[in-house]
């Protein structure tokens, strides 16, 4: 359940701020989930930004 929520939050964030085709959405979701977070809101901004940078395909 939490993985689906994370995916929706990541898709929403990336869609509003960037071109989604330039991002490895599944990789972002997997990394957040593997770190044990249930939602993007559970993370600090620096951690989220670092994860996004690692999965930038653009």
Write down the pTM of the prediction. Answer: 0.89
H/E element, 48: helix 45-54
Query: Which structure tokens are listed for 3?
Result: 């993985």
Using CA atoms, how far residue 46 sits from 1, 6, 49, in Å, is 25, 17, 5
Q: Give the number of other Cβ atoms within 10 Å of residue 53's Cβ.
A: 8
What is the pLDDT tens value at each position of the chain, 58 positions in all? 589 999 999 999 999 989 989 999 999 999 999 999 999 999 999 999 999 999 999 7
Residue 37: predicted pLDDT: 94
């Amino acid at each position: 359940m939490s993985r689906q929520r994370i995916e929706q939050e990541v898709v929403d964030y990336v869609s509003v701020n960037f071109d989604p085709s330039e991002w490895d959405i599944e990789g972002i979701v997997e990394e957040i989930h593997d770190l044990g977070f249930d939602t993007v809101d559970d993370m600090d901004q620096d951690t989220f930004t670092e994860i996004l940078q690692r999965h930038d395909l653009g």
